[in-house]
Amino acid sequence: MIDIKFLRENPEVVKENIRNKFQDSKLPLVDEVIALDEELRQNKKRADDLRANRNKISKSIGMLMGQKKFDEAEEAKKLVAQQAAELAECEAKEAELSEKVQKIMMIIPNIIDPTVPIGKDDSENVEVERFGEPLTPDFEVPYHTDIMERFCGIDLDSARRVAGNGFYYLLGDIARLHSAVISYARDFMIDRGFTYCIPPYMIRAGVVTGVMSFAEMEAMMYKIEGEDLYLIGTSEHSMIGKFIDQIVPEAELPYTLTSYSPCFRKEKGAHGIEERGVYRIHQFEKQEMVVVCRPEESPVWFDKLWKNTVDMFRTLDIPVRTLECCSGDLADLKVKSIDVEAWSPRQQKYFEVGSCSNLGDAQARRLKIRVKGESGTYLAHTLNNTVVAPPRMLIAFLENNLNADGSVNIPVALRPYMGGVDKIIPKR
C-alpha cells in the first residue's frame, strides 16, 4: 500500500504505475480516492474547529456562572450541545470516509521498482542467469510420481479417499528424503546467520490483509469458520505479522529469520490440481526466509535472499535459473520479485521452485511496523524468499539425481540427514 500523501502529490505517477501493471480498470480509483481524501481532510478540519470552539465555550460557561450571568451561561450550554451534535456527525463521517479511503488504497498497486521489466503476464518474465549445467540423460526420466511409486514412497489413492485431490501420503525413503531436505534447508540458513523460528500456523484477518492483497487472500486462504482465524499459505504471513503494531529500535535491524511451517492453499483458479502429481497441492511444508530492515538496505537483502536459494539448490546438484518477474506478474504489494526455477530433465525445461520478493514498506504500512531511529520514526521494509518447498522441490531432486537403474543419488550435503547413505534403491 502506497502513502496517500505520495498519491495526492503524484497522481500521474500512480496512474502510470497502474498502466504498467496492465490494471487499467483501477485508473478511476486514483481520482476517486483523491476526492475522498480531500473531503476527509475538510471534514477533519471542521471537526477540529468544532472541538476547539466547544472547549472555548465550555470554559466561558464557568466564568459566566461565576458572574451570575445565568441566561448567557444557559445559551452557551445550548451552543455547546448543538456543536457536540455536529461534532458527532463529523466524527461519524470521518470514520466512513476513512474506511472508504483505506479500502481503495489497499486495492491500488504498490509502485514497482524502475528496474522491473514491463510485461503483461508471466510469459513475459525475463531470464537473468543460469547456474549449473542442465542435464539431458540418455535414459527416459519417468513422471515424478512414478519414481516415487518405485520406492513405495507415495500413496495418492488413499489421500484422495481421505481428503480429495491435492493431498498425498509420503512413505519410506521418499518421506525421509522430504524431511531431510527441510532439515538441511533449516541448517543451511542457520549457518548463514538467520534465526530459526516456528510460527503460528493460523493468523487473524487483520494480519492477512496486512501481508497480501484481497485478490491473493481470496485465491489462497482457508478461513476457519466461526473464528477470526485463517490457515497460513506460507510462514511469511505469520513472520511479518509478528511485528504488527510494533516500533522497533533501529539498532536491532535487520531481523533475519528462517521459518518452518506447513502451508495450506486453496489454489483457487489454478489449472490442474493434478490427480497423480504433487506439483500443485493444497498442503505442503516449506522453509522460508524473512527480513525486516531499513529502507536503504532492502535492495541488498533482496539479492542476498535469492542467492541463498540458488546456493542451496546447487549443493544438491540441481541446476537452476533466476527469472525476473515482469510488471504484470507482480502481486500488488510487491516492488520487485525474482523466481528461482529448477531444471526438469523429464520436461527439458525449468519450473518454479521458489520466489523472492521485496515489498518495500507496503506490508509495514498496513501492519504499522515502524522503526525508531536517531532522526525519527519511519516504516520498515520487508522481504521474503522461499528456501525450499517440498514436495515440489522433490520433483527437481529426484529427476536430477536419478540413475538409469532407478536409484537416486544422495548428494554429500544431504547424507547426514539420510543416515549416511549415498543413494536410495527402489523397491520395485
Q: Which three cell numbers stand for residue 351?
A: 519450473
Percent of the chain with pLDDT over 70: 94
Query: How does residue 215 score in pLDDT terms, banded at 50, 70 and 90?
Result: confident
Give Cα 88 to chain centroid, integer Å: 39
Q: Over the chain, what is the mean pLDDT?
A: 92
At 144, is the secondary structure helix, strand, or coil?
A: helix
- Mean pLDDT, residues 140-157: 95
Q: Please report the pLDDT score of residue 393 as a whole number.
A: 93
370-395 residue pLDDT tens: 999 999 999 999 999 999 998 889 99
Closest CA to 145 of 7, 274, 331, 1: 274
Q: Please report the pLDDT score of residue 268 as a whole number.
A: 53
Distances (CA, A) of 279 to 146, 190, 295: 13, 27, 35
Q: Please report the pLDDT score of residue 217 as a whole number.
A: 83
298-342 residue pLDDT tens: 999 999 999 999 999 999 999 999 999 999 999 999 999 999 999
Q: Please report the pLDDT score of residue 276 as a whole number.
A: 64
Closest CA to 358 of 380, 323, 383, 322: 383
- Residue 8 · residue 72 · CB < 8 Å: no
Which has the minimum average pLDDT: 39-48, 243-252, 408-417? 39-48
Query: How does residue 74 score in pLDDT terms, banded at 50, 70 and 90?
Result: low
253-280 residue pLDDT tens: 999 999 999 999 997 544 444 446 888 8
Q: Please report the pLDDT score of residue 83 as a whole number.
A: 77
Peptide bond into 345 cis (omega under 30): no
Give Cα 308 to chain centroid, integer Å: 18
**Predicted TM-score of the model (pTM):** 0.89
Q: Please report the pLDDT score of residue 72 as a whole number.
A: 73
Residue, of 47 and 170, whose pLDDT is higher: 170
Domains annotated for the chain, with CATH where assigned, are 4-105 (1.10.287.40), 122-424 (3.30.930.10)
95-140 residue pLDDT tens: 999 999 999 999 999 999 999 999 999 999 999 999 999 989 999 9
Contacts of 8 (CB under 8 A, 6+ apart): 34, 37
Q: Please report the pLDDT score of residue 65 as a whole number.
A: 72
